[in-house]
Structure 1
Amino acid sequence: MTVNGGMFRMIFRRGIRNESFLKALEALAQQDSWWRDVLADNSLIIGIRDEYLNVYWQGQSIFRVSFKAGTVTASTHQKYLLNPGIKGQISLIGGSFDLSKAAETMLTRDYEGVTTLERLKKAAALYSGREKEGVHEIAISNPTIVDVEIAINAAAVSDVLRKLPRMDVASFEKADTGVDLVFWEAKTFSNPELETGEVVKQVKEYRAVIAAHHADIAESYSCVAKNLLDMGKWSNGSRPIAQTTRDVAAGAKINVTGTTIGLLVYDFTADQRDREDKDGNTLRKKLEKLFEQNELGIDRFRFKGTAKGLAL
């Protein structure tokens, strides 16, 4: 929050600017460490926040990485430490479960390389869902994507009911003048918000908060691009960096407007895609009409039966 003319202004901020933090991350990447394993696993998504990182697996943050007292620190939710491969029965004796034999195998207690990382991913997947799984699949297959789970504070923005609207994906697109930052809303075909038209209200809210924070958003993702380029180098090529990200890191202008919002719809069969309502409209046609009526544009609609291979 900053003060401008005596008024408080909520800001949007992304990026690691602390040089000591960056140097510590680079050094840790050269060591036999969980961080080197994360960088080498390009199925994991690194979300760059305001001086900290979230490492995502299917929408679940399995690591929160920060810098405290000159040291890189990581934490995870305790639920991800439950061993997803545990087997056997636990006896219920006199109202208490006998954990004496299971105590040593129920929890992940030590980080032991990629085996532990895979166990954390399996545990996190239990808390995901089809929509989050799809977003993850799209994000790891489109190197132009630079962020996921993008929450923007809307407390000071009028006509926005949700005070922390959250967009699913952000990507860079080559433009005639610099690079466009495009936000995407992702929905499975069965999501009722598509049928009811609620998604139109969501996109309107996104446009409002983007307009209110466009300068902060542009500055933030300029820093994010530089951070991602660094992490690509630290990963020894395991994390591909799109040319648009390289361009922004080198100083290309980022264009941020409320009109650069797209809609991703996936997880449907051919029959579902072609099914018409009583007015002869498929779901896609209905959404296109709604977006046109609300002057939201339809040039960034993406419909695909499976999230895998869905290109932006």
Structure 2
Amino acid sequence: MSEIQPIREAVIPELPNYYRGKVRENYDLPDGRRILIATDRLSAFDRAIACIPFKGQVLTQTARFWFEKTADICPNHVLEYPDPNVVVGQKLDILPVEIVVRGYLAGTTSTSVLTMYKQGRRDLYGIRFQDGLRDNEALPHAVITPTSKAFDGGHDEPLSPDEIVGSKLLTQEQWDTVSGYALALFARGQDIAHGRGLILADTKYEFGTDRQGRIMLADEIHTPDSSRYWFAESYPARFAEGERPESFDKDFVRNWVAARCDPYNEPIPEIPDELIAQTSQVYIRAFETITGQAFEAPAGQEPPVDRIRRNLARYF
């Protein structure tokens, strides 16, 4: 694994209108297309803390699997895949609401239903949750728990459908469309995941509008970074014992860093190669389990950024 060159950045001067995201390099072409290059950066604690070999390829190709499996449900931004780490899509105006769909009472963030439920709250996101639910328990049906999308680096805030429409974040028609798409996408995802021995517990979607105002799915779908997957076989016993469900544990690096410093205010210590390699293997395993496909690393010794530049030359 030490000989593999992770993609730390993919800055290609020949491409116009560069924007650096947390893990993706973005380029906007004059004709309304956007090039998104997934690097191997691992973002945590509000910064990139490491590079995980093949992470960008895993996320791009997992999303590709799901975009293709759900294209009959909802239009998406994808136009083509010129490289294993690259998607070319339509540039969209991203809607200011992040759509999170949950099938289970789970989560650790301040906006997760489990966190708020354990604080004693029962009316959440415009939904009344019953008493007596346990950590990681299946909900009676999938629910949407939308949040405001913090474009300026602020914090996401919980929203109800009435708040979304009342504050004109979305029109009623837009809300009806995205909520319908989201529940249908999640149902498809749960069904396919079940066939792979997995539980898709929750996920998030981003939607945008094209130049004609048509709502389309953007960004990624059902990847290990945007979704919570559990292993179905061990879930019943673990739930009965009150244990955390078995999942793709990608947090080796995050946990190692958090145990050794204040990652929000102190320098990040040098991360051992072994942890980087472990995390890379977890991402590859996730891709293969979710999609049922063998992971294929790019052949040859060409540096990955040189390969990406070569594959994108026709866009210069």
Q: TM-score under structure 2 normalisation?
A: 0.24
Which structure's CA Rg is the greater one?
1
Q: TM-score under structure 1 normalisation?
A: 0.24
Larger proportion of helix: 1
